[in-house]
Structure 1
Amino acid sequence: MMSQSGPQRYISDNEAYDVLLTFAEELGVKRVLFLHGEKSLAAAAPYLPDLSKSFDVTDVPFGGECSYDEIDRIKAIAKENDVQMVIGLGGGKVLDTAKSATTGTHLYLVLMPTLASNCAPWSALSVHYKENGEHIDHQIYKETANLMLLNPKVILNSPINYFVAGIADTLAKFYESELIFDNLKPEEFTVALMMSRQNAINCKEVLLRDGLGAIEDMKNGELTHRWRNVAETIIVTAGTVGGWGDEYGRATGAHSVHDALTLYPQTGNLLHGEKVGYGILVLLMMEDKLDSFNELLPMFREMGVPTNFAELNLPDFSDEDIDALATEATTEEKMIHFMPMEVSAQLVKVAMLKMEVVAKQTA
């Protein structure tokens, strides 16, 4: 097992971006590649220092997907311009691309999240997709970012559906690891595993207690302690679960269902966390944890997280379609097989069909 903490330095503050110039100058950096989403740049611009006054900046708008083609494009631009540092500003796919482009190189890496939608700013891994949004794989890296800068004001003003998706994605940290940790003997718990498990519990407790309230704070534009705690739980605490726990704290069943759903263009308008949220419900039904299922269901409905095929934009899903989805969710390489139980496509299918019944009964 290999444990990794997060970025070498982490600053969360309304003036966090001001650290960037001094940090880079102290490292002797002269040339930087600035990778960003266009909307993210517009949101962060009021708080960003003028990089061009201190560095030779190669400005690169993000292509839209963390794909191998996009990663190769960024690598080529970095090499052509002989940059010393890559700065990634944006959502998870932008940051994952920056991580993929710099891993194994001499380049410094700075990550500046503009969304609280997942733990990509903290984790030492990237999830890769095809250009059409279909999931390919994920890679775990030996390096972590040199610096991560979080400005709460920028994230508070981001689209709220990403924040909602982040809550669902972060709840998966607990529900996906719960069965794995429950099957470990007390003497198998190292300090790293104890930290991973406790942080997974923290993810659940914070979000179940404060998640809905934090959404209301965000709707009202209020930067409350409650909202900030939830936002940093999504970005930081969630990242430490897999960081400390490695394969014991990484994604399993819920994310495997998400990965299978990416093959269906009808789900393309749904965010990563929204599909993971549906996957959590499938996972709980597979494990026959009805109390947890019934606890989450009303919260997910209030948040707008999909709970059935119709809400996944798959209203006419046939029995054959369900078979195909369940089979895809359980292919050999899927992380669902980290679960310490016998997993099959039939088990996944039965869980999804049970959810459809519940959806109709409780509509």
Structure 2
Amino acid sequence: MLQIKTPEIYISEPGAIKLLGSLVKPYGKRTLIIWSKTARKVTEDDVIESLGVERIHYMEYQFEGYPTLQKAEEIAALARENDIEILIAVGGGRVIDTVKAAGDLSSLPVASVPTIAATCAAWAALSVLYTDEGNFNHFRHNKQSPKLIVADTNILAKAPVRYLRAGVVDTIAKWYETAVHQGNSFSYLNSVNSAKLAFDFLVKDAAKVIDASIDKSIDEKTVKTVDAILFLAGNVGSYVGDKAFSGFAHPFYHSSRIIKETRNTLHGELVAFGLIMQAILEKKPQDQIEGIVRKFQELKVAFTLEEIGISEQAEAKLQIISDRIHEVFPDLLLLEGNSDEKAIVNAAFEADAYVKSVRREGEEIYG
């Protein structure tokens, strides 16, 4: 069975947030805005003005911490108690994932307004939920994606560049991970071709867009980069068949959160390290692995174990992550060809060594 879960409206352009009220209005006149303190600071004037023009009544909920089922249930209950007709999620993936789950629990539509382009959370029907402490808990497969996505590229390009880098590598990962599999179903072919389209653009142009964003410069390629992260990467998971297509990098990310020291590392940053590990587990030739590391180094997303939060007692911590991967993701294709119980641990140390080697190479070339 093939399920299709996509938004009804996706807008990505400078100043898009000013259209929020007119886009929300067809869904109802009573809304609950869920936003983090930082997201509110950069969007409040435009959000409130756009809702006011359309005479939409709003309530507010300030989000803090991690996306948990308890928070989603709290938001859903608040919405029901106040006859809310649509939820508006303003912020990053934590806020948006929580609100998508709340929308699913309350059977209310969701409008997502991303303020960082670090993942495709604004599009995906999936919510990744955690414990209060920040450990991965479970995936929630919501009945639908957000109804609306309002991606204001002025806001996204002006966010700290670290988030954009993380979003770029998270999107690049969609190609590496879907390409691990071989299939002929339409859901697979759609996913792998969307992933390849995003990959080709980002490998060619993302470094220039990232450099431009440091100067807060926005052009057509900035908009396309946002579209690659939100629309194309989101589209990869929109057509859900009987089998999910995943490589190693995202399972590594989710499982790594069991180690509290990794929780200051962004989603895309852990995914980047996981992609190098994936290449090692795939037994790719050394030159191909080094090529991946050099590309990540160019994007400034090539990290060592220490930089992702795994330094002291590294082997023991990596073994915990390895055990978690085997427990939560037992059907991973790459596990079949790496039955040695130390395969994942060894791949992590090899990935660390590759990053350090490429950096030394760069220091020798550029002095």
TM over 0.5: yes
1:169 aligns with 2:170: yes
Task: Classify 1:200/1:336 alpha carbon distance in 2 versus 1 (closer, same or farther; 3 Å).
Answer: farther
Displacement after TM superposition at 1:46 (Å): 4.5
Q: Deviations over 1:240-274 (max 9, x none)?
A: 11112556664431111112221122222111111
Give 2:67's aligned residue. Answer: 66
Moved more, 348-357 or 78-87: 348-357
Question: How far apart are 1:313 and its partner, in Å?
Answer: 2.8
C-alpha distance in 2, partners of 1:176/1:77? Answer: 38
Q: Distance in 2 between matches of 1:117 and 1:153?
A: 15
Q: 1:299 aligns with which of 292, 295, 299?
A: 295
SS of equivalent residue, structure 2 residue 180: helix
Counterparts of 2:197 and 2:288, CA distance in 1: 16
- 2: CA distance between counterparts of 1:19 and 1:358? 47
**2:272 pairs with 1:277:** yes
Q: Which residue of 2 aligns with 1:43?
A: 42
Indicate the SS of the match to 1:11. strand
The answer as to 2:230 corresponding to 1:235 is yes
Q: 2:208 and 2:242 mapped to 1: Cα distance? A: 32
Which one-letter code corresponds to 1:358 in the other structure? Y
User: d(CA) in 1 for partners of 2:303 and 2:268?
Assistant: 13
- 3-state DSSP of counterpart to 1:133: coil
Q: How many residues align?
A: 355
Instruction: Verify the 8 A CA contact 1:122 1:235 in the aligned structure 2.
Output: yes
- 2:332 is paired with a residue whose SS is helix
CA deviations on 1:62-106 (whole Å, 9 max, x unpaired) are 122111121122112112212111111111111111110011544
Contact 2:76–2:106 (CA under 8 A) maintained in structure 1: no
Task: Tell me which of 333, 337, 357 is aligned to 2:353.
Answer: 357
Q: What is the match of residue 30 of structure 1? A: 29
Q: Which residue of 2 aligns with 1:310?
A: 306
Tell me, which stretches of 5 or more residues in structure 1 are unaligned? none
- Could you tell me which residue of structure 1 aligns to residue 2 of structure 2? 2
Give the CA deviation at 1:298.
1.7
CA 1:96–1:154 in structure 2 vs 1: closer, same or farther (change >3 Å)?
same
Q: Is the 8 A contact 1:156 1:218 kept in 2?
A: yes
**Per-residue deviation at 1:235?**
0.8
Structure 2: runs of 5 or more not aligned: 361-367
State the match for 2:343 in structure 1: 347
* Distance of aligned partners of 1:360 and 1:317 in 2 relative to their CA distance in 1, 3 Å threshold: farther
Please point out which of 236, 239, 253 is paired with 2:248.
Answer: 253
User: 1:329/1:308 Cα in 2 relative to 1: closer, same or farther (>3 Å)?
Assistant: farther
Distance 1:343 1:8, change over 3 A: farther
Alpha-carbon RMSD? 2.2
Q: Hey, what's the Cα distance between the residues in 1 that align with 2:32 and 2:245?
A: 31
Give the drift of 1:318.
Answer: 4.2
**Kept after mapping to 1: 8 A contact 2:31/2:85:** yes
What is the aligned partner in structure 1 of residue 363 from structure 2?
none
Are the structure 2 counterparts of residues 25 and 301 from structure 1 closer, same or farther at C-alpha, using a change threshold of 3 Å? Answer: closer
TM-score by length of 2: 0.89
1:1-363 aligned within 5 A: 1-27=1-27, 29-50=28-49, 51-52=51-52, 54-103=55-104, 105-181=106-182, 184=183, 188-190=184-186, 192-244=187-239, 246=241, 250-290=245-285, 291-331=287-327, 333-334=328-329, 337-339=332-334, 341-344=336-339, 345-362=341-358, 363=360
Q: Kindly provide the CA deviation profile for residues 278-336 of structure 1, in whole angstroms up to 9, marking residues without a partner as x.
A: 111111110012344222212322433253212223223343333223222222x2276
